[in-house]
Structure 1
Amino acid sequence: MKRIYLFCFRHSKIITVLSLVLFILSFYLSLNIKVNYDLYSLLPKDLPSVNALNELRSTFKLGEEAYILLPFKDPYEVDSLKKKVSQINGVSKVSWISDFQDIFLPDYFWDQNIKDKFIKDGYTFLKVEFIESSQSPLTKSAIKEINLILTKGSYFTGNAVIGQDLSELTQRETIRYLLIGSILVIIFLFFLLPSMYVPLLIYYTIFLSILVNTAISTLLGQEISFISRMIVGILQLGVTMDYAIFLYHRYEEESKTKSKEEAGWEAVRTTAVSIIASSATTVAGFLAMTYMRFGLGKDLGFILARGVLVSFISSLTILPVLLYEFHHKWANSKRWVLRIPGERLFNFVIRWRPVIFIIFLIGAFSLFVIPKFPMDYKLLRGLPENIPSMIGQKKLEDIFEKKSTIFAIGKESPDNWQEIIKVLKKDPYITGVMGYYEMVDPLLPDYMVPESVKETFFKDGVSYLTLDANFSYASQESYDFIKRMRDKIEKRYNVTFTGIPVLNYDLKNVTTDDLNKVNIISIIAIFMVVALSFLSLPIPILLVLVIEMAVTINLLIDYLTYGFIFFSSNLFIGAIQLGATIDYAVLLTSR
Structure 2
Amino acid sequence: MDRFFGFIIQHRIIVITVFICLAALCVFLMLGVGSNYDLSKYLPAGTESKEGMDILVSEVNYNGTALLMLENKTIVEVLDIKDKVAAIDGVEKVVWLDDIADLKQPVELIDEEVRNNYLVGNDALLQIVFTEEDDSARTYAALDAIRAELGEGAKLAGSAVDSYGLVSVTGDSMVRGILIALAICLVILLVTTESVMEVVLFLFNVGIAILLNLGTNIIFGEISFMTFASAAILQLAVSMDYSIFLLHRFSQERQTESNPTIAMVRAFKNTFGSIMSSGLTTVVGFLALIFMSYTIGADMGLVLAKGIVCSLICVLVLLPALAVMSAKAIDKTKHKRLLPSLKKVQRVLGGRVRYVVLAVMGIVCIIGYMAQSQNTYLYSANSTGNRQQIAIDREIDEKFGIRNNFIILVPRGNPEGEFEMAEKLSALDAVSSVQGIYAFVDPSTPLEIVPESLKDEFLSERYSRYIVEVTGSVESEVAFRAVEQIRHIVSESFGEGAYVTGATPVVYDVRSVTEGDFTLVTILSIAFVGFILLVTFRSITIPILLLFVIETSIWINTAVPYFTGTSMVFIGYMVISSVQLGATIDYAILMTSYYREGRQTMPKREASEYAVEKAGASIMLSALVFSAAGFVVANVFIQPAMAQLGTLIGRGALLSGFLSIFVLPQLLMLLDKIIDKTTLKTHLLKRRQAG
Does TM, scored on the shorter chain, surpass 0.5?
Answer: yes
2:381 is aligned, of 356, 379, 382, to: 379
1:539 is aligned, of 538, 542, 547, to: 542
**Cα offset, 1:428, TM superposition:** 2.7
Number of aligned residue pairs = 584
Letter in 1 for 2:41: S
Q: Please say which of residues 284-293 and 186-195 is displaced more in the overlay.
A: 186-195
**Cα offset, 1:194, TM superposition:** 1.3
Letter in 1 for 2:236: L
Q: Please say which of residues 508-517 and 484-493 is displaced more in the overlay.
A: 484-493
On the 8 A contact 1:349/1:356 being kept in 2, the answer is no
Which residue in 2 is equivalent to 1:235?
234
Letter in 2 for 1:204: F
Q: Structure 1, residues 82-113: CA drift from partner, whole Å, max 9, x if none?
A: 6414xx25x5665455666677x657799747
Letter in 2 for 1:379: A
Which residue in 1 is equivalent to 2:634?
none
Query: Are 1:527 and 2:539 counterparts?
Result: no
Q: Please say which of residues 421-430 and 273-282 is displaced more in the overlay.
A: 421-430
Q: Please say which of residues 575-584 and 557-566 is displaced more in the overlay.
A: 557-566
Which residue in 2 is equivalent to 1:73?
75
In the aligned structure 2, how far is the partner of 1:69 from the partner of 1:294? 36
Q: Structure 1, residues 393-439: CA drift from partner, whole Å, max 9, x if none?
A: 33432333243111122126333323322332233332222222233
DSSP-derived class of the 2:45 partner: coil
DSSP-derived class of the 1:248 partner: helix
**Cα offset, 1:157, TM superposition:** 2.2
DSSP-derived class of the 1:408 partner: strand
DSSP-derived class of the 1:576 partner: helix
Query: Are 1:60 and 2:63 counterparts?
Result: no
Question: Given the superposition, is the C-alpha separation of residues 59 and 126 from structure 1 closer, same or farther in structure 2, using an over 3 Å criterion?
Answer: farther
Query: Are 1:351 and 2:346 counterparts?
Result: no
Which residue in 1 is equivalent to 2:171?
171
Q: Please say which of residues 565-574 and 488-497 is displaced more in the overlay.
A: 488-497
- List aligned pairs for 1:133-282, cutoff 5 A: 133-150=133-150, 153-217=153-217, 219-220=218-219, 222-255=221-254, 256-282=256-282
Question: Given the superposition, is the C-alpha separation of residues 254 and 360 from structure 1 closer, same or farther in structure 2, using an over 3 Å criterion?
Answer: closer
Q: Please say which of residues 537-546 and 338-347 is displaced more in the overlay.
A: 338-347
Which residue in 2 is equivalent to 1:50?
50
Question: Given the superposition, is the C-alpha separation of residues 471 and 140 from structure 1 closer, same or farther in structure 2, using an over 3 Å criterion?
Answer: same
In the aligned structure 2, how far is the partner of 1:344 from the partner of 1:23? 43
**Cα offset, 1:505, TM superposition:** 1.1
2:505 is aligned, of 490, 502, 506, to: 502
**Cα offset, 1:162, TM superposition:** 1.5
DSSP-derived class of the 1:336 partner: coil
Q: Please say which of residues 564-573 and 219-228 is displaced more in the overlay.
A: 219-228
In the aligned structure 2, how far is the partner of 1:537 from the partner of 1:8? 36
Question: Given the superposition, is the C-alpha separation of residues 42 and 457 from structure 1 closer, same or farther in structure 2, using an over 3 Å criterion?
Answer: same
Which residue in 1 is equivalent to 2:316?
316
DSSP-derived class of the 2:75 partner: coil
- List aligned pairs for 1:324-335, cutoff 5 A: 324-335=324-335
In the aligned structure 2, how far is the partner of 1:185 from the partner of 1:39? 32
Question: Given the superposition, is the C-alpha separation of residues 41 and 141 from structure 1 closer, same or farther in structure 2, using an over 3 Å criterion?
Answer: farther
Question: Given the superposition, is the C-alpha separation of residues 137 and 80 from structure 1 closer, same or farther in structure 2, using an over 3 Å criterion?
Answer: closer
Letter in 2 for 1:537: I
In the aligned structure 2, how far is the partner of 1:64 from the partner of 1:43? 21
Q: Structure 1, residues 211-261: CA drift from partner, whole Å, max 9, x if none?
A: 2211111x3253122211222222211211111112212323344425233
- List aligned pairs for 1:430-579, cutoff 5 A: 430-440=431-441, 448-460=449-461, 462-494=463-495, 495-561=498-564, 563-579=566-582
Query: Are 1:401 and 2:404 counterparts?
Result: no
Question: Given the superposition, is the C-alpha separation of residues 571 and 221 from structure 1 closer, same or farther in structure 2, using an over 3 Å criterion?
Answer: closer
Question: Given the superposition, is the C-alpha separation of residues 195 and 445 from structure 1 closer, same or farther in structure 2, using an over 3 Å criterion?
Answer: closer
**Cα offset, 1:365, TM superposition:** 5.7
On the 8 A contact 1:56/1:63 being kept in 2, the answer is no
Letter in 2 for 1:518: V
DSSP-derived class of the 2:164 partner: helix
In the aligned structure 2, how far is the partner of 1:317 from the partner of 1:152? 56
**Cα offset, 1:353, TM superposition:** 3.4
Question: Given the superposition, is the C-alpha separation of residues 438 and 120 from structure 1 closer, same or farther in structure 2, using an over 3 Å criterion?
Answer: farther
**Cα offset, 1:530, TM superposition:** 1.0
Q: Please say which of residues 71-80 and 280-289 is displaced more in the overlay.
A: 71-80
Letter in 1 for 2:317: T
On the 8 A contact 1:408/1:496 being kept in 2, the answer is yes
**Cα offset, 1:518, TM superposition:** 0.7
In the aligned structure 2, how far is the partner of 1:550 from the partner of 1:194? 30
On the 8 A contact 1:61/1:92 being kept in 2, the answer is no
In the aligned structure 1, how far is the partner of 2:291 from the partner of 2:471? 36
In the aligned structure 1, how far is the partner of 2:416 from the partner of 2:322? 77
Letter in 2 for 1:317: V
**Cα offset, 1:282, TM superposition:** 0.7
On the 8 A contact 1:63/1:499 being kept in 2, the answer is no
In the aligned structure 2, how far is the partner of 1:360 from the partner of 1:297? 32
Question: Given the superposition, is the C-alpha separation of residues 65 and 441 from structure 1 closer, same or farther in structure 2, using an over 3 Å criterion?
Answer: same
In the aligned structure 2, how far is the partner of 1:484 from the partner of 1:378? 21
Q: Please say which of residues 236-245 and 440-449 is displaced more in the overlay.
A: 440-449
Question: Given the superposition, is the C-alpha separation of residues 118 and 440 from structure 1 closer, same or farther in structure 2, using an over 3 Å criterion?
Answer: farther
Q: TM-score, normalised by structure 2?
A: 0.77
DSSP-derived class of the 2:434 partner: strand
In the aligned structure 2, how far is the partner of 1:573 from the partner of 1:279? 17
In the aligned structure 2, how far is the partner of 1:414 from the partner of 1:120? 36
On the 8 A contact 2:63/2:131 being kept in 1, the answer is no
Question: Given the superposition, is the C-alpha separation of residues 195 and 223 from structure 1 closer, same or farther in structure 2, using an over 3 Å criterion?
Answer: same
In the aligned structure 2, how far is the partner of 1:46 from the partner of 1:364? 40
Q: Structure 1, residues 551-587: CA drift from partner, whole Å, max 9, x if none?
A: 0101112333452222122111111111112222222
Letter in 1 for 2:245: F
Q: Structure 1, residues 541-560: CA drift from partner, whole Å, max 9, x if none?
A: 22212211110101112333
Which residue in 2 is equivalent to 1:429?
430
In the aligned structure 2, how far is the partner of 1:225 from the partner of 1:145? 28
Letter in 1 for 2:543: P
DSSP-derived class of the 1:521 partner: helix
Letter in 1 for 2:246: L
In the aligned structure 1, how far is the partner of 2:232 from the partner of 2:107? 60
Q: Please say which of residues 64-73 and 543-552 is displaced more in the overlay.
A: 64-73
Q: Structure 1, residues 294-320: CA drift from partner, whole Å, max 9, x if none?
A: 122111111111111111111122222
In the aligned structure 1, how far is the partner of 2:538 from the partner of 2:9? 37
- List aligned pairs for 1:6-155, cutoff 5 A: 6=6, 9=9, 12=12, 16=16, 19-30=19-30, 33-62=33-62, 64-70=64-70, 71=73, 73-74=75-76, 77=80, 80-81=83-84, 83-85=86-88, 88-89=89-90, 94-96=94-96, 112=111, 117-130=117-130, 132-150=132-150, 153-155=153-155
Q: Structure 1, residues 92-139: CA drift from partner, whole Å, max 9, x if none?
A: 665455666677x65779974766554443444443444554344344
In the aligned structure 1, how far is the partner of 2:192 from the partner of 2:14? 30
Letter in 1 for 2:481: D
* Structure 1 residue ranges without an equivalent (≥5): none
Question: Given the superposition, is the C-alpha separation of residues 441 and 148 from structure 1 closer, same or farther in structure 2, using an over 3 Å criterion?
Answer: farther
Q: Please say which of residues 197-206 and 126-135 is displaced more in the overlay.
A: 126-135
**Cα offset, 1:379, TM superposition:** 2.9
In the aligned structure 2, how far is the partner of 1:124 from the partner of 1:230? 37
Q: Structure 1, residues 314-366: CA drift from partner, whole Å, max 9, x if none?
A: 11222222222322121133221122223323422441333444445556666
* Structure 2 residue ranges without an equivalent (≥5): 596-691
Which residue in 1 is equivalent to 2:647?
none
DSSP-derived class of the 2:87 partner: helix
Question: Given the superposition, is the C-alpha separation of residues 249 and 186 from structure 1 closer, same or farther in structure 2, using an over 3 Å criterion?
Answer: same
DSSP-derived class of the 1:386 partner: helix
On the 8 A contact 1:48/1:496 being kept in 2, the answer is yes
